[in-house]
Structure 1
Amino acid sequence: MRGLSIVGAGHVGSALGRLFHTAGVFDVRGVLARSAASAAQGSAFIGAGTATFDVAALPAADVYMLAVTDDQIVPACATLVASRPLQGAIVFHCSGALSSGALEAARLAGAATASVHPIRSFADPAAVAADFAGTFCGIEGDAAALAVLAPALEAIGGRPVTIDAAAKTVYHAASVFASNYLVTVLDTALRAYQAAGIPADMARELARPLAQESLSNVFRMGPEQALSGPIARGDYTTVQRQQAAVSAWDAEAGALYAALVPPTAALAARKPR
């Protein structure tokens, strides 16, 4: 069994570490964190691995997982490279925004590098570890690294999806559109309902069936068929009137409305007639 040492004992590192350990995919040998307490907590959650806050004391392994924040990936990789030989090892990070190119120092030291990004929230690592099956994981990197990591992810219930490393930032933005910005648009809808005199709790009930049915239709029929409303009908008189009214109510909401008109019109143009 290949040995795994983890750099970063936060939610992602702890959850994946526990999954790999429990499934017997990797022998978790070490857990490195910024403090002894954090390392010990991570090791305890995982159920394996020597806890340390000193990179020199991190046990040697066949595979190294850098589960640190995006701004720490490059320096953490450099520190790891300076601490030990990495010829023949696998080094991967878990960022959705950065490509495996961020691990260039490890690659130059002879390691095979990759990135593995589980597409889900890790706010509750215990819940993730208990219900990881079916989680899509965006992967890219050296073939030698992916030959090991893809089966490892499948063994813990993950669904690896190969992505283009050159488009990694756009890939991550896709998740922002599908999750974060969707919440922003819905917040604007709820506030607009309230501006029309509808109480907040009732506004959520009004928006719920519209939002849920639209989401269901997108994934069932595709966005072209799911699109409805004035732009889909070509009713730009209504669009202009709405944009003016929304802008008068709230300038930022008006700007958001205006920004969404061109891409929605382009989507409507793809709609089969």
Structure 2
Amino acid sequence: MKPASGIVFGRQAQSGRGRMHGVSENRNCPLSIDPQWSRRAFIDAVPACSGRDRPGSRFPRGIPLPTMDRRQAMERLKINLIGPGKVGLTILRRIAMTGACTVQDIAGRSIEKAEAAVAFVGAGAAVRSVADMRQADLWLLTVPDSQVATAAAELAATPTASDTPSVAVHCSGFLPADEMKPLRALGWQLASLHPVLTFAEPAKAVSHFDGVSCGMEGDAGALALVEPLVTEIGGMPFGIRSEAKAIYHAAAVFSSNFNVVLQAIAREAWAKAGVPDDVAAALNATLMSACTDNVMELGPARALTGPASRGDQRVVDEQEAAVRSWHPDAGEIYREMSVLAQRLKRTGGTLE
């Protein structure tokens, strides 16, 4: 279906082949130009610039279009947000701060939540439901993972969804863009964008967003549109394989979330051993800082130390028994981590 914007999606699109690092080669760039169209050429000018003007771009080249400055093109891009949670607020605030595009409508679980989001972002209009949102060029679905498909289906059911196919992006690190498939059936282009950053506090996340790596996958046309926007707000986009999205997200969980759990166990173990809280906090800080520095400089295998890495099996066995008698779950973790540590030191990796 050809939307009012003049962008042609799906089978009608020009088959311009382009590949982003880590994305399957069967993604054709699905954008082409309707010669009769003039109202919103800016939406196509963005991918055209992203492919031609960025040396070494890992995203698909755009199709030659009427001349338009990329910044001017992006500023005219209209964006809607469904689900103003911590990630959505952070991204939309960065967009508003940079003037990267026009923040239009925001819908949340309640009008009060949408109004609070507008106040935080400093732009846009709060609406009561998805059905009340105006047409937009880019839709952000920053809802919990379990609600992405539902939100996409709700958006697909609105009267204008099939008349004006757009680009939809969710921010789940676990789910692929295909989770929004009700929209793809209407000719929409889909992508996922996962900023690798902790979002405990949106105000802090906004200030820390510069230089944040952002994993992306999905349809080539959507990626070509979103990649320059991510760059404009300070992110560093990179491609990931759609079929390995769950493993990609698990890597972030191991690197960040589980690290926090391990530090909690360490604090509890020091408390059991009679170490004062302030001393335990200092020990945590010193060891974590040194560990991070060593891993970054030497790599995991060379940075690894401790009884398992040096083959001191008596210490490993007796320490496991001591931990298990105090904290059975932590004892199991200690045993499994010791096996992996020995393998890492012996082979350079944790896989058998």
TM-score range, shorter chain: over 0.9
Aligned to 1:85: 161
2:119 partner amino acid = A
Indicate yes or no: 2:291 matched with 1:214: yes
Residue 73 (1) aligns with residue 148 (2): yes
In structure 2, do the counterparts of structure 1 residues 226 and 252 end up closer, same or farther at CA, with 3 Å as the change threshold?
same
Indicate conservation of the 8 Å contact 2:294/2:303, yes or no: yes
Aligned residue-pair number = 272
Q: Which amino acid aligns with 1:85?
A: A
Pick 1 or 2: higher relative contact order, CA cutoff 8 A, min separation 6: 2
Q: Indicate conservation of the 8 Å contact 1:50/1:59, yes or no.
A: no
Match for residue 95 of structure 1?
Answer: 172
Would the aligned equivalents of 1:19 and 1:156 in 2 still touch at CA under 8 Å? Answer: yes
Asked if 1:48 is matched to 2:123, the reply is yes
Q: TM-score, normalised by structure 1?
A: 0.94
Q: Does 1:114 align with 2:191?
A: yes
Unaligned runs of 5+ in 1: none
**Percent of aligned pairs with the same amino acid:** 37
Does 1:182 pair with 2:265? Answer: no
In the alignment, what sits opposite 2:226?
A: 149
Match for residue 243 of structure 1?
320
Q: Residues 28 and 49 of structure 1 are in contact (CA less than 8 Å); yes or no, is this contact kept in structure 2?
A: yes
Higher helix proportion: 1
Determine the structure 1 residue equivalent to 2:134. 59
- The list of structure 1 runs, each at least 4 consecutive aligned residues, that deviate by more than 6 angstroms after superposition, is none
What is the rounded CA distance, in whole Å, between the counterparts of 1:44 and 1:25 in structure 2?
A: 18
Aligned Cα root-mean-square deviation (Å) = 1.7
Aligned partners of 2:81 and 2:107 also within 8 Å = yes
Structure 1 position 213, deviation (Å): 0.9
Q: Secondary structure at the match of 1:256?
A: helix
Secondary structure of 1:85's partner?
A: coil
| Paired letter, 1:60 | Q
Partners in 2 of 1:62 and 1:204 — Cα distance? 48
1:270 matched residue in structure 2: 347
Quote the Cα distance in structure 2 between the aligned partners of 1:244 and 1:123. 36
SS of 2:309's equivalent in the other structure is helix
TM-score when scaled to structure 2?
0.74
Letter in 1 for 2:228: P
The question of whether the paired residues in 2 share the 8 Å contact of 1:50 and 1:58 is answered with no
Q: Distance in 2 between matches of 1:70 and 1:126?
A: 22
CA deviations on 1:57-111 (whole Å, 9 max, x unpaired) are 1010011110111111111100101102255410010111211110111111101
**Equivalent of 1:233, from 295, 306, 310?**
310
Give how far 1:271 is off.
4.7
